[in-house]
């Protein structure tokens, strides 16, 4: 790249103040033509704000933006689009009930006659684009029927159709399987070859190292590092992101499994939509071990956890705790029996957001004699003492225990749930997506707590969409596919094999 | 004659179906408005109030100026004004759309009674002369077709207009760029916004259009079917239109079929003199059918995904 070529994107001294937060503090961010530039940082570091400013969704308080050497005024997405900036949002901007073609055309629809939508032209335009960039897509398919990987592809084609030269991808791999991620990376490299420039937002450091040319690291609204990918490593990036050294590998001793605590036999259940979600699940979980469940989301993992936790009915099979049949137990009796549950949707089912930390810390245990008199009058002093203890032990960052859960960061919300569930000293801990949307620092902490729980003799069942998490925490890995456990693998199983099993491929090894 | 025989006999009279179509149109106009508004993502239960306001101002204008076309225009604009209020409250200020709708319905009821007293004192509002009503028009030649001529081609001018609007609404919503954008805004406003579509403008347009259509229905009611204004004369038709919209799965033709069923009930009730079943039982029938149908016989009726959700730019 010669020095005379102007930068593709040059953002200088960007500052944006939100009520109570300085989201961007004199941020300088520059991207060269034809590179894949990774923008990394923890939640709340200011990445999204910076990109929303570039795309015209947020207006900066000060600073300037220069696109391809020319100062740019980006008041709304339309301006960004006309400057050749395209954004693939983390939460897809797709309409499930529209066709692929309508989704791609939206906002720039071809018309004939008096404003009539021109299907033939739309189809031709899409076929032309998909051919040029090697992105196979059926323009007539209903968007909602496509797998996530193809939906994302449609998002990319949508951006290309608008003539984007600079593509911003916000956490694009968060929803993808390992195989889909690989395919995405092939696509991104092809796009660069075709002359496009890519900004890749992520907090998955392995992927960043794999795909990017240069890296900008943000922390608490500021840029804390400009790195060249080939000269850096995961540890350096993580340290910059968090502001201290972070242990990326989970440090744990080999498991020392004891007696069988939880037995699941031939379990069946249906999903919310009434279709079979579990089709005969069997496994045993022992004291002092972590059994990780890997799988593409939507293959029955959520339902499995809910049935064991007592929030969903089983339509067949049994769940035994020791030798007690707990299949028909509800959430409350499960808890009393010693099963703790970290649900995957922390804002919906894990917490009451408008309740304080103190109130949330006893949810589900409010009848215990420690916390209430005759299961009727709350012992407020004891509850507050308990909450303070949890806040201290689990390093929950909050000004006080009276703060509403809504006002905590995602990581701290998750810590409240983890603290509450582990605080009951359970025999079985069910952890569903325990670190979803949580920062590296908090992930490290939660992982350590889960291992500590195992070492204390609890049996842990872990469900996670993050293959890395399953592999680093588990002592055994069960792979789920379409409501069945297709295989139970050792923790050092290569990612490729797990990925294959997760998508229905691979040899059918005997399930335990 | 048996009761069943009476009903069968009635079902084969052209008079009944002529009345059915007219009654259905009275519901169809606000229902089309509802479809447009809700397709854009704004819940609209205010058709009742918009229609009532239109009916009142239509009569006032007709009595004052003795010009039915001018009066109809005033009625449409009055409905549109109520639509604008609903739009400002629910789009601009992001208030709860159900509450805004209820408020408009109550407000319209109170406002019209107040104005009747203010303008006409305690007397009657007065009657509009025959020549100043929305006219019935027989389409030459076609109106001579046996049975269908009477049902379809000896109707009020508003009936013809409504049938044209029905087709137009369908074509606009499902065949044009404008319609694609309206539906996009109702399904996923963020997606539409990032595609460079003006969410607020489209929603405003849709909600105001629903007011205009309801205003026209009000005019048809007060200075077409009837010749005066009576407080509360819409008699729940705005709500029945709402049911028709849901029954019809938020599509113009679906809503039309529902309106025909309701209209048939009304027509049978109005022609009850020749049958020997309690007219009250008969008038109940369409609603009973609706309850059964809505309970799951036609499958679940799914509203637009963002229906009722105010749009906050930059949110997710």
Q: How far apart are CA A118 and CA A101, in angstroms?
A: 11
pLDDT in tens, B284-309: 777 777 777 667 655 667 888 888 88
Rg from Cα positions in chain A: 25
Q: Mind telling me how many Å the CA of A150 is from chain B's nearest CA?
A: 17
Q: From edge to edge, which strands make up the β-sheet containing A9-18?
A: A21-31, A9-18, A62-67, A70-72
CA distances from B169 to A256, A379, B175 (A): 70, 62, 10
**Would you say residue A455 lies in a domain?**
yes
pLDDT value, residue B136: 94
Residue B86 pLDDT more than 90?
yes
- Average pLDDT, rounded, for chain A: 89
- Kindly identify which residue of chain B lies nearest to residue A93, measuring between CA atoms: B191
- Other C-beta atoms within 10 Å of A479: how many? 28
- Other C-beta atoms within 10 Å of A149: how many? 15
Q: What percent of chain B has pLDDT over 70?
A: 94
pLDDT in tens, A332-356: 888 889 999 999 888 888 899 889 9
pLDDT value, residue B181: 97
pLDDT value, residue A140: 92
**Would you say residue A147 lies in a domain?**
yes
Residue B178 has φ and ψ, to the nearest 5°, of -55, -45
pLDDT value, residue B316: 47
pLDDT band with cut points at 50, 70 and 90 for residue A507: low
Q: How far is Cα of residue A65 from the mean position of the Cα atoms in its chain?
A: 30
**pTM of the entire predicted model:** 0.79
Question: Domain range for residue A436?
Answer: 260-502
Whether residue A349 sits in one domain with residue A290: yes
- Neighboring chain A residues of B183 at a CB cutoff of 8 Å: 95, 98
pLDDT in tens, A172-195: 887 777 778 888 999 999 999 999
- Reported ipTM: 0.87
- Neighboring chain A residues of B196 at a CB cutoff of 8 Å: 76-78, 81, 107-108
**Would you say residue A507 lies in a domain?**
no
Whether residue A438 sits in one domain with residue A301: yes
- Other C-beta atoms within 10 Å of A69: how many? 10
Q: Which of A57, A58, A117 sits opposite B177 (nearest CB)?
A: A117
Which residues of chain B are at the A interface, by a Cβ-Cβ cutoff of 8 Å? 175-181, 183-184, 187-188, 190-197, 305, 313-314, 316
CA neighbor of A458 nearest in space, from A324, A320, A287, A342: A287
Whether residue A66 sits in one domain with residue A124: yes
Residue A100 pLDDT more than 60?
yes
- Other C-beta atoms within 10 Å of B40: how many? 30
**Strand ranges for A46-176 from DSSP E:** 62-67, 70-72, 85-88, 111-112, 116-117, 166-170
CA neighbor of B51 nearest in space, from B104, B118, B126, B124: B104
Q: Which of A78, A107, A116 sits opposite B176 (nearest CB)?
A: A116
Residue A259 pLDDT more than 80?
yes
Whether residue A130 sits in one domain with residue A269: no
Task: Judge: A89–B194 Cβ closer than 8 Å, yes or no.
Answer: yes
**Would you say residue A251 lies in a domain?**
no
Q: How far apart are CA B14 and CA B134, in angstroms?
A: 22
Q: Is the dihedral of CA B117, B118, B124, B125 positive or negative?
A: negative
Residue B71 pLDDT more than 80?
yes
Q: Of A209, A242, A275, which one is at a domain's C-terminal end?
A: A242
Q: Of A242, A277, A307, which one is at a domain's C-terminal end?
A: A242
CATH number for the domain that contains residue A107:
3.40.50.300
**Strand ranges for B108-160 from DSSP E:** 136-138, 154-156
Task: Judge: B183–A98 Cβ closer than 8 Å, yes or no.
Answer: yes
Q: How far apart are CA A416 and CA B141, in angstroms?
A: 79
**Would you say residue A442 lies in a domain?**
yes
Q: Which of B183, B194, B305 sits opposite A93 (nearest CB)?
A: B194
pLDDT in tens, B72-85: 999 999 999 999 99
Segment A375-385 shows an average pLDDT of 90
- Kindly identify which residue of chain A lies nearest to residue B174, measuring between CA atoms: A117
As for how many domains chain A has, the answer is 2
Whether residue A279 sits in one domain with residue A407: yes
Whether residue A216 sits in one domain with residue A98: yes
Task: Judge: A108–B196 Cβ closer than 8 Å, yes or no.
Answer: yes
- Average pLDDT, rounded, for chain B: 90
**Would you say residue A303 lies in a domain?**
yes
- Neighboring chain A residues of B316 at a CB cutoff of 8 Å: 91
pLDDT in tens, A288-331: 999 999 988 788 898 999 999 998 999 999 999 988 898 888 88
Whether residue A435 sits in one domain with residue A328: yes
Residue A509 pLDDT more than 70?
no
Whether residue A397 sits in one domain with residue A297: yes
- Other C-beta atoms within 10 Å of A181: how many? 21
Whether residue A417 sits in one domain with residue A284: yes
pLDDT in tens, A44-78: 788 988 999 999 989 999 999 999 999 999 988 88
pLDDT in tens, B36-55: 999 999 999 999 999 999 99
Residues 6+ apart with CB under 8 A from A41: A47, A203, A217, A218, A219, A241
Whether residue A315 sits in one domain with residue A199: no
pLDDT value, residue B18: 93
pLDDT band with cut points at 50, 70 and 90 for residue B187: very high
Task: Judge: A97–B305 Cβ closer than 8 Å, yes or no.
Answer: yes
Residue A508 pLDDT more than 60?
no
pLDDT band with cut points at 50, 70 and 90 for residue A511: very low
pLDDT in tens, A116-167: 999 999 999 999 988 888 888 899 999 988 888 889 999 999 999 989 999 9
Whether residue A356 sits in one domain with residue A467: yes
Cβ distance A218 to A50 under 8 Å?
Answer: yes
Q: How far apart are CA B248 and CA A277, in angstroms?
A: 32
Whether residue A462 sits in one domain with residue A317: yes
pLDDT value, residue A512: 38
Q: How far apart are CA A450 and CA B222, in angstroms?
A: 72
Residue A3 pLDDT more than 60?
no
- The better pLDDT of the pair A438, B97 is held by B97
pLDDT in tens, B124-175: 788 988 889 999 999 999 989 988 999 999 999 999 999 999 999 999 999 9
Q: Of A179, A212, A242, which one is at a domain's C-terminal end?
A: A242
Q: Which of B190, B197, B305 sits opposite A107 (nearest CB)?
A: B197
Q: How far apart are CA A105 and CA B191, in angstroms?
A: 12
pLDDT value, residue A510: 42
Residue A18 pLDDT more than 60?
yes
**Would you say residue A4 lies in a domain?**
no
Task: Judge: A106–B195 Cβ closer than 8 Å, yes or no.
Answer: yes
**Would you say residue A254 lies in a domain?**
no
């Amino acid at each position: 790249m010669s020095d005379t070529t102007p930068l593709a994107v040059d953002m200088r001294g960007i500052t944006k103040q939100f009520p109570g937060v300085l989201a961007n503090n004199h941020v300088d961010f520059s991207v060269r033509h034809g590179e894949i530039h990774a923008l990394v940082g923890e939640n709340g570091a200011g990445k999204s704000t910076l990109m929303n400013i570039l795309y015209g969704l947020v207006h900066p308080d000060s600073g300037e933006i220069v696109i391809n050497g020319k100062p740019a005024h980006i008041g709304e997405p339309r301006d960004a689009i006309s400057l050749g900036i395209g954004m693939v949002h983390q939460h897809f901007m797709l309409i499930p009930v529209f066709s692929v073609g309508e989704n791609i055309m939206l906002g720039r629809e071809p018309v004939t006659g008096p404003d009539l939508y021109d299907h033939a032209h739309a189809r031709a335009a899409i076929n032309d684009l998909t051919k040029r960039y090697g992105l196979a897509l059926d323009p007539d398919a209903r968007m909602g029927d496509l797998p996530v990987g193809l939906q994302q592809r449609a998002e990319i084609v949508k951006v290309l159709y608008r003539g984007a030269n600079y593509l911003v991808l916000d956490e694009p791999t968060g929803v993808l399987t390992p195989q889909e991620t690989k395919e995405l990376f092939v696509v991104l490299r092809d796009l660069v070859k075709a002359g496009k420039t890519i900004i890749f937002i992520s907090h998955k450091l392995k992927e960043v190292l794999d795909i990017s040319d240069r890296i900008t690291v943000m922390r608490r609204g500021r840029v804390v590092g400009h790195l060249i990918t080939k000269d850096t490593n995961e540890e350096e990036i993580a340290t910059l992101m968090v502001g201290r050294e972070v242990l990326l590998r989970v440090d744990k001793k080999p498991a020392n499994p004891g007696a069988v605590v939880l037995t699941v036999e031939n379990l069946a259940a249906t999903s919310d939509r009434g279709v079979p979600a579990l089709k005969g699940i069997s496994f045993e979980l022992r004291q002092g071990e972590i059994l990780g469940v890997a799988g593409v989301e939507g293959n029955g993992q959520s339902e499995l956890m809910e049935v064991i936790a007592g929030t969903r009915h089983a339509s067949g099979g049994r769940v035994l705790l020791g030798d007690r049949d707990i299949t028909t137990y509800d959430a409350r009796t499960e808890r009393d029996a010693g099963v703790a549950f970290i649900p995957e949707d922390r804002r919906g089912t894990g917490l009451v957001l408008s309740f304080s930390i103190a109130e949330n810390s006893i949810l589900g245990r409010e009848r215990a004699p420690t916390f209430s008199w005759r299961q009727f009058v709350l012992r407020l002093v004891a509850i507050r003492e308990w909450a303070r203890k949890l806040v201290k032990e689990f390093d929950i960052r909050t000004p006080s225990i009276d703060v509403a859960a809504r006002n905590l960061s995602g990581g701290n919300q998750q810590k409240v749930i983890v603290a509450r569930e582990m605080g009951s000293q359970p025999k079985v801990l069910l952890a569903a997506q325990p670190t979803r949307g949580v920062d590296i620092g908090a992930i490290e902490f939660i992982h350590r707590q889960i291992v500590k729980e195992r070492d204390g003799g609890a049996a842990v069942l872990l469900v996670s969409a993050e293959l890395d998490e399953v592999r680093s925490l588990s002592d055994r890995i069960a792979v789920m596919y379409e409501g069945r456990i297709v295989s139970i693998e050792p923790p050092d199983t290569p990612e490729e094999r797990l990925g294959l099993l997760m998508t229905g491929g691979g040899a059918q090894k005997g399930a335990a | 004659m048996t009761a069943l025989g009476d009903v069968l006999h009635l079902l084969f009279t052209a008079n009944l179906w002529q009345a059915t179509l007219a009654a259905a149109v009275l519901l169809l106009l606000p229902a089309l408005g509802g479809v447009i508004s809700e397709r854009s993502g704004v819940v609209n239960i205010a058709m009742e109030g918009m229609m009532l306001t239109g009916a009142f101002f239509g009569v006032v204008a007709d009595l004052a100026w003795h010009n039915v076309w001018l009066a109809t225009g005033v009625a449409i604009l009055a409905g549109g004004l109520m639509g604008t209020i609903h739009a400002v409250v629910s789009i601009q200020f992001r208030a709860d759309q159900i509450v805004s709708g209820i408020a408009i319905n109550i407000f319209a009821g109170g406002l019209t009674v107040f104005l009747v007293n203010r303008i006409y004192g305690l007397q009657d509002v007065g009657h509009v002369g025959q020549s100043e009503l929305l006219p019935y028009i027989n389409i030459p030649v076609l109106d001579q077709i046996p049975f269908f001529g009477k049902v379809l081609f000896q109707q009020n001018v508003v009936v013809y207009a409504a049938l044209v609007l029905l087709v137009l609404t369908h074509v606009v919503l499902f065949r044009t760029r404008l319609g694609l954008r309206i539906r996009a805004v109702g399904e996923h406003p963020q997606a539409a916004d990032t595609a460079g579509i003006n969410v607020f403008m489209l929603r405003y347009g849709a909600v105001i259009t629903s007011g205009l259509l309801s205003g026209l229905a009000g005019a048809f009611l007060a200075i077409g079917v009837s010749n005066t204004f009576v407080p509360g004369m819409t008699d729940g038709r705005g709500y029945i239109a709402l049911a028709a919209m849901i029954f019809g799965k938020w599509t113009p033709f679906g809503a039309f079929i529902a309106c025909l069923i309701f209209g048939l009930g009304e027509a049978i009730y109005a022609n009850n003199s020749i049958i020997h079943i309690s007219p009250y039982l008969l008038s109940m029938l369409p609603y009973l059918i609706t309850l059964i149908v809505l309970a799951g016989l036609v499958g679940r009726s799914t509203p637009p995904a963002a229906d009722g959700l105010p749009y906050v730019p930059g949110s997710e």
